[in-house]
Amino acid sequence: MTVFLIIVVVALLGVTFWQMSKILKLSKPAHHDSSQIANDKDNSTQGYLMLGFVIFLYILMFYSFWNWGDLYLPEAASAHGGDYDTLMFISIALIMFVQVITQFLLYFFAYKYRGEKGKKALFYADNDKLEFIWTIIPVIVLAGLIIYGLFTWSEIMNIEEDEDAMVVELYAYQFGWKARYSGEDNTLGKANVRFIEGVNVLGIDESDSYAMDDKITTELHLPVDKPVLFKFRSQDVLHSAYFPFFRAQMNVVPGMITQFSFTPTITSDEMRNSKFMVEKVEELNEIRREKSKELVANGDVALDPYEFDYYLLCNKICGISHFNMQMKIVVEEEEDFKEWIGEQATFGEGVEKQKEQQVTSNN
Amino acid sequence: MSATATATAAHDHHDHGDHGHHHKETFITKYIFSQDHKMIAKQFLITGLVMGTIGILMSILFRIQLAWPEESSWVFELFLGDKYATDGVMNPDAYLALVTIHGTIMVFFVLTAGLSGTFSNLLIPLQIGARDMASGFMNMLSYWIFFISSVIMLSSLFVESGPASAGWTIYPPLSALPEAIPGSGTGMTLWLVSMALFIAQSLMGSLNYIVTVINLRTEGMSMTRLPLTIWALFVTAIIGVVSFPVLLSAALMLIMDRSFGTSFFLSDIYIKGEVLAHQGGSPVLFEHLFWFLGHPEVYIVLLPALGITSEVIATNSRKPIFGYRAMVASILAIAFLSTIVWGHHMFVSGMNPFLGSVFTFTTLLIAIPSAVKAFNYITTLWKGNLQMNPGMLFSIGLVSTFITGGLTGIILGDSTLDINVHDTYFVVAHFHLVMGISALYGLFAGVYHWFPKMFGRMMNKNLGYVHFWITAIGAYGVFFPMHFIGMAGLPRRYYTNTNFPYFDDLADVNVLITVFAIITALVQLVFIYNFIHSIFYGRRATQNPWKANTLEWTTPVEHIHGNWPGKIPSVYRWSYDYSKLNKDETDYVIAGQDYIPQTVPLQENEEELNH
């Protein structure tokens, strides 16, 4: 019924517009310019609108930076993240500089040189010097950016194998994450999805002696200021391990192991109590309270207040629940980490337990 | 010299061919299976616009979901039905299907076929002085294969398991395994069949365009006298021929992986409690193959728009385009570089970081010719006598969005910076501005400018102004704020962001974006109304309404098969002699007329310039 009504309303609106356009057409004086080609009046109106538009664009840009500039992520929580942010801010500053100038020139010229009957345009077809200037300037600026970028890139991506980084496997599946710590030997046991069975959900090779002390967890805990080497493995489709707070990301590809290494530098506690985060969380909870009022009024459950934690999310479309494939990350002091990891069961213990259970159930 | 010789030969040939053009035409040969390039152009345009309407409608649907997540709406009930919107709430699989098909339709069916297909067909023969395409039959075939491909793509929306929903980039294994996502069943098969046909039609079209430009130029139309539209369309066709076959091979391999048990892209997969037999393939290989087309595709979409803009801006500024040779050189440079930058989509794909460095280098290089083009457009406006026709407004708008969107490319093209904004809304904002909106503006500029040529009537300028200004405000309103939610680390292709309380403060921005998107989409109805109304009731066009120099305006308003009633005109100059003064600088070369059509021989009172 609603659909039918809407169709009727739209049809009536259409008829109205049609009739209005007829009336407008009939009411036009006979000498009216109906060539549909811009005349001096149009040129002038549109010229002013061009000027108006560049002002709109400036206001929009200013408003966006003013209002949403603080949506940018908090201070990077990893060792390389600082370099990343510096490069980002330099690039944004440069871009906005060029943006402000070129957009001004474009729309200002459109306004200033709006057409008039009898005005002569300047026949100006070529100027090699000018062409050279605006070829060479981008060349120099971009060369600087490229060099800076590449140094940072190779620093981030080149992983020294002999470094004493803690090796952790991140295992992705539809739709969740598991972490596998390599244990005392700091070496991950071999694994392949073909070994998946029962308690061995990650497909670890039980015959590999490196495997027995591996620890599988559902939360990712990291000791602060210790380099971590992540090895990524996927069970099914492409995923992407995205650590926004650490300025780190790597795709997780079935059939191969990808890697990324970084050193977390700010503990979860420190981040939670930083000025930025305290204000942010306050604001978020204000929004959540408002929303909860609405929810409760509709008989739904209110939202829990939010407390900040680092998180890992999936950033490569991976299926229906792609939007909720996350893992909590805890960065903590080394002793806290040791305590936590000590409480986790090793893979070997898990296998033993399963065998025992099988024996009991067989008896 | 040889170019001139060929042109003369072609010219002769066409004089003989005249007799063939007067046979009687039936409704079917004239409007349906037409071999006339002008009719085929219209067919491409109208099909493209229909597809565009569907694509934009889809984007509005998922924007509503993003702004008001999981809320019930009659809009969803109306368009998605109970299956995809249970109780009026959009399902996650419907969301993914919508973003996938929106991307596919907009990139391929609207901006490739609708833009390049329309204007290559319309302009190449008309602007180079040819009676038709080299092969009219192949041209017809190209359109009808495109039509079938569109029908198949749309039919995939109605299959039981839903249309393809692995993203328009269809990365395997997600796209290869129906177990991974329902859309990878029949929907994906139809997607692949449709795309294979699409590629076939694109190749037929492109080969035709290339051959036509090389062989059928009229006497005097040397390559350096070609309008920039033709340069752009010609180079676009070459890029298409180079890169589309690679996508076809990727699609074929994916079909084999899906149906015939090969393992090009699949390895070590455990899904739904079972290990698959596939072993040894690599999804990264698919990414390479996909982006070997995917990135040049950006320029396949963009170059025709830039070509159209060059022509429209020069004509309406009453000035020659600034730096014709630099413009041609940058088109060529962009074309070359576009084929060696694909890896910047894959910085964090797990490929060797050294490759990342190489692709950063080539990617930032492409900013140079792009910058040259932008500066040249601005300089063309300088000291012009700007005629603010709707086509001109859209061209200026294109330069604006091309700059805004292009600049953020400097961030994304830098492998380091890409790490944290990869696959976030920052990317979505970037490419929508630089290729989506810019190319659409190019399409609109072309339609407003060449409407008189296509339909013999004028479009209403006031409706054109309304269309432009609301679109311009809306497009920036949608995509400028989107950068900021990307910077906040919000991933794209998320059905809802409510599972991350950290994103709660982005909800307002998302509402704002959606409101702008709805307004912008609605104002396109003004364009559609103007388009349809003007076809039938628009004011009759004069032969050369914009006082342009190019050859298409020397043909009669009424379409005839063969374009020119008599001999094909010869060309004596480039197409940009606007406001050229005589030797004494007392008046224009032709007194009282600020343009010199290409068919006018060199006058005694003018200086010959070398461009």
Chain A contacts in chain B segment 173-192 (CB below 8 A): 173-174, 177, 180-181
Looking at residue A34, what is its pLDDT? Answer: 79
Q: How far is CA B143 from CA B33, B115, B244, B440, in A?
A: 9, 13, 17, 20
The amino acid sitting at A45 is T
In this complex, is the C-beta atom of A174 within 8 Å of any C-beta atom belonging to chain B? yes
pLDDT tens digits for range B549-602? 999 999 999 988 889 998 999 999 999 999 999 888 888 999 889 999 999 999
What is the rounded CA–CA span in Å between residue A305 and residue B457? 62
Residue in A120, A153, A196 closest to B353 by CB: A153
Chosen from B402, B414, B543 to mutate, greatest number of chain A CBs within 10 A: B414
Chosen from A73, A131, A291, A307 to mutate, greatest number of chain B CBs within 10 A: A131
What is the rounded CA–CA span in Å between residue B124 and residue A243? 50
Chosen from B417, B483, B543 to mutate, greatest number of chain A CBs within 10 A: B417
The amino acid sitting at B74 is W
Residue in B420, B539, B609 closest to A36 by CB: B539
Please judge whether A102 and B378 are an interchain contact, meaning their C-beta atoms are less than 8 angstroms apart.
yes
State mean pLDDT over B540-548: 94
Looking at residue A27, what is its pLDDT? Answer: 66
User: Is residue A248 left, alpha or beta, with left meaning phi > 0 and alpha meaning psi from -120 to 50?
Assistant: beta
Q: How far is CA B464 from CA A40, A176, A264, B44, B582, in A?
A: 17, 50, 55, 21, 36
CB atoms within 10 A of CB B221: 31
pLDDT tens digits for range B66-106? 999 989 999 999 999 988 998 999 999 999 999 999 999 99
- pLDDT confidence tier of residue A362, bands split at 50, 70 and 90: low
In this complex, is the C-beta atom of B137 within 8 Å of any C-beta atom belonging to chain A? no
State mean pLDDT over A238-258: 96
Looking at residue B606, what is its pLDDT? Answer: 86
What is the rounded CA–CA span in Å between residue B479 and residue B110? 20
Phi/psi of residue B578, nearest 5 degrees? -100, 135
Global pTM reads 0.93
B-chain residue closest to A38, CA distance:
B389
What is the rounded CA–CA span in Å between residue B57 and residue B63? 10
Is a pLDDT exceeding 90 seen at residue B538? yes
- Residues of chain B contacting A291 with CB distance shorter than 8 Å: 504
Instruction: Give the minimum alpha-carbon distance from B420 to chain A in angstroms, rounded to a whole number.
Output: 5
Query: Closest by alpha carbon to B177, among B95, B263, B241, B54?
Result: B263
Looking at residue B4, what is its pLDDT? Answer: 42
pLDDT tens digits for range B478-502? 999 999 999 999 999 999 999 999 9
Chain B contacts in chain A segment 179-208 (CB below 8 A): 192-194, 196, 203
State mean pLDDT over B317-337: 95
Is a pLDDT exceeding 80 seen at residue A31? no
Chosen from A63, A123, A245 to mutate, greatest number of chain B CBs within 10 A: A123
Please judge whether A114 and B388 are an interchain contact, meaning their C-beta atoms are less than 8 angstroms apart.
yes
In this complex, is the C-beta atom of A247 within 8 Å of any C-beta atom belonging to chain B? yes
- Residues of chain A contacting B382 with CB distance shorter than 8 Å: 109, 113, 122, 124
In this complex, is the C-beta atom of A210 within 8 Å of any C-beta atom belonging to chain B? no
- pLDDT confidence tier of residue A162, bands split at 50, 70 and 90: low
State mean pLDDT over B374-379: 95
Average pLDDT, chain B: 92
Check if the beta carbon of residue B538 is closer than 8 Å to that of residue B457. Answer: yes
What is the rounded CA–CA span in Å between residue B581 and residue B577? 9
Residue in B167, B275, B367 closest to A138 by CB: B367
What is the rounded CA–CA span in Å between residue B93 and residue B90? 8
Looking at residue A285, what is its pLDDT? Answer: 95
- Residues of chain A contacting B281 with CB distance shorter than 8 Å: 255
Looking at residue B591, what is its pLDDT? Answer: 87
- pLDDT confidence tier of residue B11, bands split at 50, 70 and 90: very low
In this complex, is the C-beta atom of A312 within 8 Å of any C-beta atom belonging to chain B? no
Q: How many CB pairs under 8 A join A and B?
A: 377
Looking at residue A115, what is its pLDDT? Answer: 92
- Residues of chain A contacting B284 with CB distance shorter than 8 Å: 253, 256
Is a pLDDT exceeding 60 seen at residue B14? no
In this complex, is the C-beta atom of B70 within 8 Å of any C-beta atom belonging to chain A? no
Chain B contacts in chain A segment 339-358 (CB below 8 A): none
State mean pLDDT over B284-290: 96
Check if the beta carbon of residue B313 is closer than 8 Å to that of residue B395. Answer: yes
Check if the beta carbon of residue B128 is closer than 8 Å to that of residue B550. Answer: no
In this complex, is the C-beta atom of A314 within 8 Å of any C-beta atom belonging to chain B? yes
Residue in A196, A247, A314 closest to B270 by CB: A196
Looking at residue A355, what is its pLDDT? Answer: 82
Please judge whether A157 and B487 are an interchain contact, meaning their C-beta atoms are less than 8 angstroms apart.
no
Helix (H), strand (E), coil (C) string for chain A: CHHHHHHHHHHHHHHHHHHHHHHHHHHCCCCCCCCCCCCHHHHHHHHHHHHHHHHHHHHHHHHHHHHHHHHCCCCCCECCHHHHHHHHHHHHHHHHHHHHHHHHHHHHHHHHCECCCCCCCCCCCCCHHHHHHHHHHHHHHHHHHHHHHHHHHHHHHCCCCCCCCEEEEEEEECCEEEEEECCCCCCCCCECHHHCECCECCCECCCCCCCCCCEEECCEEEECCCCEEEEEEECCCCEEEEEHHHCEEEEECCCCCEEEEECECCCHHHHHCCHHHHHHHHHHHHHHHHHHHHHHHCCCCCCCCCCCCEEEEECCCCCCCHHHCEEEEEEECHHHHHHHHHHCCEHHHHHHHHHHHHHHHHC
In the numeric block, which tokens belong to residue B89?
A: 């709430």
Is a pLDDT exceeding 50 seen at residue B17? no
Pairing of strands A228-234, A258-262: antiparallel
pLDDT tens digits for range A50-85? 999 999 999 999 999 999 999 999 999 999 999 999
Looking at residue B597, what is its pLDDT? Answer: 94
Looking at residue B561, what is its pLDDT? Answer: 85
- Residues of chain B contacting A251 with CB distance shorter than 8 Å: 348-350
State mean pLDDT over A225-244: 95
Check if the beta carbon of residue A341 is closer than 8 Å to that of residue A228. Answer: no
pLDDT tens digits for range B175-184? 999 999 999 9
Share of chain B above pLDDT 70, in %: 96
Residue in B270, B374, B382 closest to A113 by CB: B382
Please judge whether B348 and A130 are an interchain contact, meaning their C-beta atoms are less than 8 angstroms apart.
no
**Which is higher by pLDDT, A189 or B21?**
A189
Chain A contacts in chain B segment 189-208 (CB below 8 A): none
Query: Closest by alpha carbon to A176, among A347, A330, A345, A324?
Result: A324
Share of chain A above pLDDT 70, in %: 95
- pLDDT confidence tier of residue A8, bands split at 50, 70 and 90: confident
In this complex, is the C-beta atom of B436 within 8 Å of any C-beta atom belonging to chain A? no
- Residues of chain B contacting A306 with CB distance shorter than 8 Å: 501-502, 504
Is a pLDDT exceeding 50 seen at residue B242? yes
What is the rounded CA–CA span in Å between residue B545 and residue B450? 10
- Residues of chain A contacting B258 with CB distance shorter than 8 Å: none
CB atoms within 10 A of CB A342: 8
Instruction: Give the minimum alpha-carbon distance from B170 to chain A in angstroms, rounded to a whole number.
Output: 10
Collapsing DSSP to helix, strand or coil, B491 comes out as strand
Is a pLDDT exceeding 90 seen at residue B281? yes
Chosen from A323, A324, A327, A328 to mutate, greatest number of chain B CBs within 10 A: A323
